Every structure is written in C-alpha cells, then in structure tokens.
Amino acid sequence: MNKEISLTVNGEAHTVSVEPRLLLVHLIRENLNLTGTHIGCDTSSCGACTILMDGKSVKSCTILAVQANGHSLETIEGVSAEGQLNPLQNGFKQNHGLHCGFCTPGMIMRATELLASNPNPTEEEIRWGISGNLCRCTGYNNIVKAILHASATMQGLEPASTEPQFV
Amino acid sequence: MPVQQCRAWNRLPPNPSLFNINNYQITIMIQCKTSKEISGMGHSMKRKEDGRFLQGKGNYIDDLKLPGMLYMDIVRSPYAYAKIKNIDIEAALKVPGVAAVVTGKDLEKYGLHWMPTLMSDTQMVLPTDTVMYQAQEVAAVIATSRYAARDGREAVRVEYEVMKPVIDAHKALDPDAPVLRTDKPGKKDNHIWHWEAGDKEKTDKVFAEADVVVKEHMHIPRIHVSSIETCGCVADYHKVDNHLTMHMTTQAPHAIRTVIALVAGHVGLTEEKVRVISPDIGGGFGGKVPVYPGYVIAIAVSFLVGKPVKWIEDRSENLQADSFARDYHITAEMAGTKDGKILATRFKVLADHGYTDASANPSKYPVGMFSICTGSYDYQTTYMEADAVYTNKPPGGVAYRCSFRVTEAVHAIERITDRFAFEIKKDPAELRMQNFIKKEDFPWHSPTGWIYDSGDYHAGLQKAMDVVDYYGLRKLQVQKRKEGKLMGIGISTFTEVVGAGPSKDFDILGIKMFDSAEIRVHPTGKAIARFGTKSQGQGHETTYAQIIAEVLGIPAENIQVEEGDTDTAPYGLGTYASRSTPTAGAAAAVAARKLVDKARKIAAYLLEVSEEDLDWEPGKFTVKGAPEKVKTIQEIVFAAYTNHPQGMQAGFEATHYYDPPNLTFPSGAYICVVEIDKETGAIDIKRFVAIDDCGHIINPMIVQGQVHGGLTQGLAPAMYEELLYDEAGNILNGTLMDYLVPTAIESPSWETGHVVTPSPHHPIGAKGVGESPTVGAPPAIANAIVDALSPYGITHMEIPITPFKIWKALHDRGVV
C-alpha cells in the first residue's frame, strides 16, 4: 500500500507516492534522480548517503522515505549552483580532499553540519566529526585540511597554503 | 630553456615537544620546465576531474538508468560446501514484479555456467550441483525494480546437503582432506601449483654454515579491498543488431571485452559485438580487475531477455563473496654474520586461494612478484618456494592496492630483517644501512632475476632518520622504558616492483601487458587523449594531461583525457599494480614526442628553414640565432589542418603502444613511532614518516594524496582488517560493522617526503606510486610494535596487531 508524502528537496517541493518500506536514499536516487547521494554499505557504516534533513546530517539509508514526510532535505546537488563551488567544495578541490569522489558528497554534507555547529573546529574535532564517514582513498589528511580551509574561508580568514607539505 | 622554481616546501614536524624533536626543516625543490600556464610535470595542478565529483555529478555505475531496465538480485549460499538438492523458484516467480529466476541449469543450456579465471583456472558462474563457498551465487532473480528483485530473492527456496568443508589451508593437503575440485578430471588433491625461485642448494649450504639464523612464521591474513563503491554493471544487449554494451565497474575494460568474447563468443557475442564502458569508479584497489559471476549472469540474462539488466552488489555481498586479497602463510628465514651482514634468505609460502585460482596475476607469475622478497639488501643467495591450495572460501588473490603479492614479500623480508637485528642486538637502522644495495650498483641484478632500475636507499633512510631524529628517539625510548612505558620505533625500507610489464615476460590470458595512448590535437590547438588504462580516483585526467603538456607545451587545461570506453580508447591492459604511469604514462610521452617530430617538420616549412635550424622548447619552435622567428605549437597544429606541407599527411595525432623494457622499482624508507598502553594494549601511532622514491614526480599534490591513502591502506591490515572464518566456513565479520575499515580517528596524520632517483628506462623517469605505501607501511607498524614489546622477549606479532593480542602477549608473560 503506497503512501503519499510531501517533502522539500533542495528548496523544491515534491509530493510522491511511495512504498512505506522505501529507504530515503532510494527515494532521492531513484525517484528524484538525484544520484549525487551514494550508497556504500548496508549497515549505516560508511556515510556515503549522508544528506541534511532540516539542517542535521543524517544517513539517508537509515531513514524511511515516509519518515521524511513534511521535512526539508538538502543533498549535494543543492549546496551550490551548477558550475560553482561553495567554500567546502572549494576546500576539497584546493586541498585534494577527494580521489575517486564516491564518499565525497557524504563527506561534504556531514562537514556542512559540522561547520554550522562548530565554525572553527580543531583537527581533532574534525576527525571525530567525520568519523561516521568512510573514505578508502585519501587517508583523511587532506579531507581534514579541506574542512579547515573551508572553516577559514567562511570566517573571512586567510586559509592555510594549499600546496602539499613535504618533510 | 628557462627553468622555473615552482615552489619550496617545508614543514615542521607536528607536536615537536612530544618527542623532543629538533625543530629543523628540510626543503625539497622541484624544478618545473614549464610555466604554470602550461602546467607540465612538477606542478601541483588542481584536478580537472574534481568538478563533477564535488557537485554530485559523477557518473558511477548505479547512477545509470536505461529505458526498460530490469534489476537483478542474487540468491547466495549460506553454506561453505554443500550439494544442491533442489531449487524451488515457484514462489519467487509469483512475487509481483519478478520476471525470471535463473539457475545454473538454465545457463548450462547455453554453455554459460562456467567461465575461465584470469589465471586460466575455471569458476562456476552459477552452480548446477555443488556450492563451494559461503555467499556463492546460487540463482539470480530478475525483476522490474530493485525491491521486487529482493522480494523474489527471499522467496527462492534452496535445499542443500551440507558437506564438511576445507577451511584451514594447512589441512587442505592432508591425505584425508576431501578433494574439492571434483569438476577437474583426475584431480586427486587440493594442490594448485608449486613455484620456486633462487638456488635451493646454495641457500641451504649458506644456512647450514651461518653464524646466525633466524626464523619466523607469519600469516598475511585475508583482507578485503572495500572500495566505498561495490561492484556492479548494466548489461545492455540489443537483439536487433546482436550487440552488447556492458557498463561495468572494471579497472581493465579492454581485457574484459576480450574475456567476454572468450566466454560468450560461441553464442554470437564476438569481440566486435561487445562494447565495454567503465564509468567513474568509486575506488578499485584491484577488486575491480576480475570478472565475477554476477557480471556474467547479467550478460546472460540481458542476452536472453533482450533488455538492459542492472546488478549492483550490496556491501555485505561484496565483503562476503569477492574482492579478497592476501591469505599467505609464510615461513621466513635469514642467515647472517654476528656483525650484521645478511648472507641469505629462505621463504616458504602456503597460499590459500579459496575455491579457484582467480588471482589477478600475470600468467607466468602465479605467485605474483613475491620473489622480490630479497628486498633492498645486497646479497645473492636466496631460495623461495610457494604452494597454492584450494579451500572452501571465496576466490581470493586480488591486489588490495599492491603490485601482485609484493606486500606479502615486503612484510616477510622487513620483519625477518628486524628479527635478525634483534637477534644480534644491532640497531635495525644501522643493520639496514650496512646491507643496502649501493646507489652506484644500479641497475642491480637480484638473485631471483629482477633488475632493479635505480634507487638510493641510504639517502632515503637517512632522510627519514633525520626527520624523526632517530637517535634522539632511541634515547627517549631508553628513558621511557626506565619509566615502565612501552615505546617502539619501527623501520621498513622496501623495494617495490611495478609497471607490468615487458611483453617478453608479462601477459594476462596471453595478452601482453603493454599500454597505450592516443593523442588527437584539434585545429585550434586543444587536444583529446585516450588511454587503455582506467582511473579509479588516481587522477589520470590531470596527470596524463600534465605529461602531454610537459612534452608538447599545450596547456594541460586544454587536454581532455578519456578512458574506459573500448569503442574509442586504444587497447590496453588497464589500471592496477601501479602500472598506469609506467606504461600508459610512458605511452603518452612517446606519442607526444612523435607529435613534436611532426611539429618540427611543419615549423621548418612555415619558417622556411631546415629542421636542424630549429630550437624546441615545450610550446614553440624558434630559429637558431633568430629568436624573433617563432612558431607556437598552436600555430603549427593549425597549419597541420590548413597549410601542411605537400606530401605530409594532414592532421595532428599520434598513437603509441608502449612495451616497457623493464619494470620500475619504487622504494621507500618508513619510520613509525608508537606508544602502547601496557594495561589495555592500545596502540598510539605518535609519528609516521614516509620517504618515497617514485622517480620523477608528475603532480606533487596527487602523489602525496596517493601516499596518504596508501599508508592508510597499510595501517588497515597492520592493525584492523582481517576476514575471519569459523570451521564451518562461515564468515564472521562480513559487514562493515565488523570489518574495521579505518576512519579519520584511527588514521594518524601522515608525514611524507621524497628522494628522487629517476627510472633510467622510463621516458619521463617516473616509477609509479599508488601502492608503495600500502606495501611499505605494515612492516613499519609491526616492527614498531614488536620493538616496543621486545624487552619482554616478544619477537613477532601477527597482523592485524590488535590491543587484545598485545595485552594477551604481555599477560602470558606475566607483565600485566
């Protein structure tokens, strides 16, 4: 028995009829064709599906679509205009905070809430803050740098050099 | 030619007070021949591919939707070894949306129920009577939606007659062990192959006469690549024109096309009727090299129903059924003198391949490059032998970010080297310095037949020691031990062997391991370049563009790189084993040089001088003695289409298939510093310094990113990752909740640096870097931990070294 739900995604209102068991991540990817939100596991471990729900980062594989009824969602497609990068996206680009790009949207959505709640985090706070998101490629060093870069930019400060530092 | 200094890098070590580190700094200079505008080699150009990934516009396999597409889900065996008594599909066929259920018997009608592995073994696509490992594919359910396919899967009823499996590789050759591969006529045991290298007689003699002999048994456990994207495909067969487009997460699209034609040519899918497209890949690490049954089933179903079929693995399926690496049981021995000279080594390997030998290795090297196990040291006596066995586990043997079993070899040599140093009470750094191959001895002929191309091992280790203040740390260690604290310093000085490979020795299924580049420059001076490799995050779109920019002087920004479509790209063997820069990168440089040769002819024609009167620097020709007479590469390319000399072919393009004359031999010197909490066994990595030599560096930013990632995938098996099976063959940690992929918390802040000895045979002196850190890091970490525990007589710990193992080792010795 399908259920009709209404929700806002990236500022756009949608009314959709869904199976009650449909996962939110499948609604986003399959029904709304927003494929920037990825699926990397089936145990809520990897965080590739992280989106914002009413400003809070959530793993959209762990929420049913019907639970999003009446809520406002933001996905990676909504964080900047096409062809433009917001400070976090730019931080990732400038600091080589991504390799294959698969975990990247989830990382950015998680970091969005992290910086909203803590605009000037320490390295340790960032590491704990993204510890629900797995990245297999980068080793995290440059993801941390990317988030620090965005934090500085968003506070109007000069970010640290983006040149690679070697011993 | 103007040579510009791109930049100087320097860095103070983090937390200088923690280990009383001297606040000195080292500066590396990289000389760039090209301007930032051109961004050839040495520039940390920001990546060209990042835009789409950052905006959620990547094109990964599960993002693809085709009209009329069906979804496939797979019924998997709960047992490691069982006869299939019956498969009841009636209930599944009644599930709304389910279109078909396919079993091995269905595929058998078309001769598609078996396939060859990359090592010329055989593997079931779907079983007709027996399952050989837990999570093996048993049947496939095809439906109109993902959810309906899963519902159908749950409704399939399979009756099994469970048999006693062979799980322990050590018992696989017991006389009473059941023979697993009864499908192989005449097979009387579970032995797959025997392989050896070196000189047994000479080695045994040196060991018999040596002052000092040390020995350790080591298990390099089964681990899983766990790229964040799992495997999947969309098989799209069109009956009307008998054509298959296979969209697929593959690191080797061309080789896969050939394999598909080999498997399905007899039903009409010959190679010209198959197109393989590998879209953006969410990490590979070797796991996306082989052909897994799911791919073949999807092709078969699409072929039978004439509609596109999508198959995407769940993470748990991925963790339980494919993409496994390692599982080598190694006995390592070293013989030497009391004053520290290494005289000989001896290695015995038992390789657990699971149900079939589906390793991704070059054909002539079933044990991969394991014979690099003599390491970075100057001695000529060694013997290694390896035997592989079948067990009731999923097929293993993919790389996990490693060039064909180098990781196993490096762990063995670097651990046994430390064991030798411990035995004779010599500092492990000094022992290494004493035994290193000297830089003037390159090219160096190893006792197992490798010809190391270049290196400066003394400089690498010296640099790492300087950066950490090695002797200061040793003093600190003495002090900490007096306070009852556990501190360890571990070294790994490894040599890798990558870039397979020279065609005289290296092939996969008979196809030589060359790779290719095709460069087409358009009339306005912008280019497209296509390659036989396939990036999975390594940044090929940027790196290859920079190589071409370096040679041709066309800005890297104006060079579009494409890979992964067998209809458009030249044939190549793909991206794995750190081979892209050594092979396809070399092909790009050679193809670009061919274009410079053509450009010279056109410039001479345009400037009305002879070719010898021209000077070239990337981007332009000038007339000798008349520097105002210039033709830029853009002007020359335009002329190639609008005003080319009579008799010359129009256009401006070149292709090269590069067959490397030798492999490349990157090396590294890694130092890891740990503190261990005695009461809990908790390990704290205080510092990890990695000095790599990957030859000439194309993009320092990307190289450093590769090293960071590789180190983290070295940390993982050293301390966290191991797939565990019980006696019945049940996987005990087959989800990401139990299989511990390191997060940002577990991963230390890596410190990286370089020494540079260019490969003398590579066109741009590069060696490849993506995997060195995965290879080199585990023994550095293990050596540090064993060093910390050594006052209690502990000489070895099996990886992954967990707090519990440490606590138990200390507890067993009455320390805690």
Domains delineated in chain B:
33-59+515-658 (3.30.365.10), 64-163+231-312 (3.90.1170.50), 324-500+662-812 (3.30.365.10)
3 state SS of B758: coil
pLDDT at position B7: 35
Q: Are B575 and B498 contacting, i.e. CB atoms less than 8 angstroms apart?
A: no
Of all residues in chain A, the one with the smallest CA distance to B745 is A127
3 state SS of A107: helix
Closest to B132 measured CA to CA, from B204, B190, B45: B190
Closest to A50 measured CA to CA, from B747, B65, B56, B279: B56
Strand partners, B531: B517, B563
Query: Do A36 and B56 make contact, defined as CB atoms within 8 angstroms?
Result: yes
Q: How far apart are alpha carbons B406 and B465 in whole angstroms?
A: 24
CB neighbours of B547 closer than 8 A, spacing ≥ 6? Answer: B40, B41, B585, B588, B589, B592, B698, B764
On whether any CB of chain B is under 8 Å from the CB of A127, the answer is yes
Tell me the C-alpha to C-alpha distance, in Å, between residue A143 and each of A91, A98, A137, B172.
9, 7, 11, 45
Tokens of B437: 């191959």
Interhelix angle A141-154/A87-94, rounded to 10 degrees, is 140
On whether any CB of chain B is under 8 Å from the CB of A86, the answer is no
Rg (CA), chain B: 28
- Please, how many CA atoms are within 13 Å of residue B149, restricted to the half-sphere of its CB? 22
pLDDT at position B360: 87
Q: What own/partner pairs with CB < 8 Å and gap ≥ 24 does A8-11 have?
A: A8/A71, A8/A72, A8/A73, A9/A34, A9/A72, A9/A73, A9/A74, A9/A75, A9/A78, A10/A34, A10/A73, A10/A74, A10/A75, A10/A77, A10/A78, A11/A78
On whether any CB of chain A is under 8 Å from the CB of B203, the answer is no
Measured in angstroms, the CA of B417 and the nearest CA of chain A are apart by 26
- Minimum-distance CB partner of B54 among A93, A102, A138: A93
* A chain contacts of residue B11, beta-carbon cutoff 8 Å: 165-167
Q: Is B229 a catalytic residue?
A: no
CB neighbours of B32 closer than 8 A, spacing ≥ 6? Answer: B3, B4, B5, B6, B40, B41, B42, B43
Q: How far apart are alpha carbons B38 and B658 in whole angstroms?
A: 25
Of all residues in chain B, the one with the smallest CA distance to A100 is B537
Q: How far apart are alpha carbons B544 and B615 in whole angstroms?
A: 25
Task: Identify the active-site residue in B153, B401, B432, B530.
Answer: B401
Query: Do A137 and B230 make contact, defined as CB atoms within 8 angstroms?
Result: no
Q: Is B771 a catalytic residue?
A: yes
Q: How far apart are alpha carbons B441 and B43 in whole angstroms?
A: 32
Q: Are B718 and B778 contacting, i.e. CB atoms less than 8 angstroms apart?
A: yes
Query: Do B744 and A29 make contact, defined as CB atoms within 8 angstroms?
Result: no
Looking up tokens 């939100």 gives A37
- How many residues comprise chain A? 167
pLDDT at position B192: 98
Of all residues in chain A, the one with the smallest CA distance to B749 is A141
- Minimum-distance CB partner of B228 among A92, A134, A163: A134
Tell me the Ramachandran region of residue B577: left when phi exceeds 0, alpha when psi lies from -120 to 50, beta otherwise.
left
Residue among A19, A32, A103, A141 with most chain B CBs within 10 A, to mutate: A141
Query: Do A40 and B230 make contact, defined as CB atoms within 8 angstroms?
Result: yes
Closest to B256 measured CA to CA, from B301, B294, B289: B289
* B chain contacts of residue A85, beta-carbon cutoff 8 Å: 51, 54-55
Tell me the Ramachandran region of residue B72: left when phi exceeds 0, alpha when psi lies from -120 to 50, beta otherwise.
beta
Give the distance from CA B510 to its chain's centroid. Answer: 21
Q: How far apart are alpha carbons B279 and B20 in whole angstroms?
A: 49
Give the distance from CA B81 to its chain's centroid. Answer: 30
* A chain contacts of residue B65, beta-carbon cutoff 8 Å: 33
DSSP characters over B134-156: TT-EEEEEEESSHHHHHHHHHH-
Of all residues in chain B, the one with the smallest CA distance to A144 is B744
Spell out the domains of chain A, with CATH numbers in brackets.
Answer: 3-78 (3.10.20.30), 87-154 (1.10.150.120)
Q: How far apart are alpha carbons B660 and B792 in whole angstroms?
A: 49
Task: Identify the active-site residue in B134, B136, B251, B704.
Answer: B251
Query: Do A165 and B9 make contact, defined as CB atoms within 8 angstroms?
Result: yes
Q: How far apart are alpha carbons A26 and A62 in whole angstroms?
A: 11
Residue numbers of chain B with a pLDDT score lower than 70: 1-29
On whether any CB of chain A is under 8 Å from the CB of B356, the answer is no
Q: How far apart are alpha carbons B93 and B99 in whole angstroms?
A: 7
Question: Which residues 141-160 of chain A have a CB within 8 Å of chain B?
Answer: 141-144
pLDDT at position B432: 98
Which segments of B372-405 does DSSP mark as H helices, in order? Answer: none
On whether any CB of chain A is under 8 Å from the CB of B232, the answer is no
Measured in angstroms, the CA of B504 and the nearest CA of chain A are apart by 33
> Strands B114-116 and B122-124: what pairing?
antiparallel
Q: Is B751 a catalytic residue?
A: no
Mean per-residue pLDDT, A137-142: 98
Mean per-residue pLDDT, A42-68: 98
Sign of CA dihedral A8, A12, A13, A17: negative
- Minimum-distance CB partner of B752 among A89, A136, A167: A167
Measured in angstroms, the CA of B630 and the nearest CA of chain A are apart by 34
Give the distance from CA A141 to its chain's centroid. Answer: 18
Question: Which residues 651-710 of chain B have a CB within 8 Å of chain A?
Answer: 689, 691, 700-702, 704-706, 708-710
3 state SS of A71: coil
Kind and range of the H or E run holding B385 = strand B382-389
Closest to B376 measured CA to CA, from B268, B456, B480: B456
Q: How far apart are alpha carbons B439 and B166 in whole angstroms?
A: 48
> Strands B243-248 and B274-277: what pairing?
parallel
B/e letters for B621-641, b = 16+ CB within 10 Å, e = fewer, are bbbeeeeebebbbbbbbbbbe
Q: How far apart are alpha carbons B717 and B740 in whole angstroms?
A: 9
Tokens of B752: 């990286």
Q: How far apart are alpha carbons B317 and B66 in whole angstroms?
A: 24
Q: How many CB pairs under 8 A join A and B?
A: 212
Q: Is B251 a catalytic residue?
A: yes
Angle at B716 between CA B741 and CA A142, to 5 degrees: 75
> Strands A72-74 and A56-59: what pairing?
unpaired
Q: Are B257 and B263 contacting, i.e. CB atoms less than 8 angstroms apart?
A: no
Q: Are B299 and B246 contacting, i.e. CB atoms less than 8 angstroms apart?
A: yes
Residue among A9, A38, A41 with most chain B CBs within 10 A, to mutate: A41
DSSP B712: H
Question: Which residues 290-329 of chain B have a CB within 8 Å of chain A?
Answer: 314-316
Tell me the Ramachandran region of residue B585: left when phi exceeds 0, alpha when psi lies from -120 to 50, beta otherwise.
alpha
pLDDT at position B25: 38
pLDDT at position A157: 97
Closest to A60 measured CA to CA, from A77, A47, A79, A78: A47
Q: How far apart are alpha carbons B226 and A89 in whole angstroms?
A: 25
Measured in angstroms, the CA of B229 and the nearest CA of chain A are apart by 5
On whether any CB of chain B is under 8 Å from the CB of A81, the answer is no
Task: Identify the active-site residue in B402, B405, B675, B687.
Answer: B402
Please report, as a single letter, which amino acid is at residue B556: A
Measured in angstroms, the CA of B44 and the nearest CA of chain A are apart by 7
On whether any CB of chain B is under 8 Å from the CB of A30, the answer is yes
CB neighbours of B203 closer than 8 A, spacing ≥ 6? Answer: B344, B345, B346, B381, B382, B383
* A chain contacts of residue B747, beta-carbon cutoff 8 Å: 139-141
